[in-house]
Amino acid sequence: MNDMHIKELRIYRAVSKLTKPIADATHDISEIAFYVLEAETGAGVVGQGYLLSFHYSPNAIEGALKDLKKFVEERDYEICQTQDIQMDYESESEYFGIVGLQRWALATLNVALWDAYAKTLGQPIWKLLGCHTRRIPVYGSGGWISYSEKELIDEVSDYKKRGFQAVKIKVGHADINCDIERLTKVREAVGNDLNIMMDANQGMDVPSAVKLVNAVEHLNIHWFEEPIANTDFEGYATIHSKTRVSLAMGEREYSTVALRELIGRRALDLWQPDIIRLGGVEEWRNSAALANAYNIPVLPHYYKDYDVPLLATVRNLRG
């Protein structure tokens, strides 16, 4: 058997226990679960990819991964053929659409194959892709809407003690005054030497988002993430024109359509690609290149163990 041949794919599910449910402006989260996909080569090298699934649609997610597993194992692919696999499978599964779970499954496999390829060559991903920097800035994220004020302040204070230079918290309460009060308390807790970002998880409308930004401008908010629905491009343009905060989005996107639309409206300041939704390493890099062409910094969503080596290869990462 060819040493680079994909011999077998294996699927696992893992659950991280929560002491109690958490919530943002749009979702109540009862479970943090992951699906792990392993790709083994003819030489016995194993690459791994995973996706974050929470408690959503386990049967659909497992079905998408199992369908892809069967498709790949019945063909003679090598681990370096990431683009061939993507094109072939997108053609095969196009009837039910590529955006959504099909893309998640493909991306998880894509990451596993890159992992296996790097291990086969004995090199880290960032060296394979071309390194620009060795130091990547990070921030502390959390601040769930379901947190009490004490839980919120304890979390951001702990981030500061651990040396983080920025913290991000959730906003989007039904009463905007609650968001204002919590942001004010966070600024008091961390002082003026840390950046504060806020994330509405698409849970606000344009008027409330504008009102919130203007009410907390004196707190020096570093950026506002997903204030409104990701498809409301004109809404982003309106918020951008009526406020002075940087706007960030990208984590819900399965393509660069939203990035292109918002660039055309001058309505985006920070691009946040999600490597699994976008489709894997190549699609992540394509989106970062497009953002770079318009001087828009990149700071990805969630998958830090994938994103840190990728960020080491781009020039427009956000500090």
Query: Could you give all domains of the chain from N- to C-terminal order, each with its CATH number?
Result: 6-122 (3.30.390.10), 128-311 (3.20.20.120)
List, in sequence order, every residue forming a beta bridge with 9; answer none if it has no partner. 39
Ranges of the chain whose pLDDT falls below 70: 1-2, 319
CA-nearest of 121, 129, 108, 125 to 41 is 121
pLDDT number for residue 141: 92
CA-nearest of 54, 160, 37, 164 to 107 is 37
pLDDT number for residue 4: 92
pLDDT number for residue 20: 81
The residues assigned a catalytic role are 170, 301
Contact indicator for 86, 279 with CB cutoff of 8 Å: yes
CA 158, CA 140: separation in Å to the nearest integer?
9
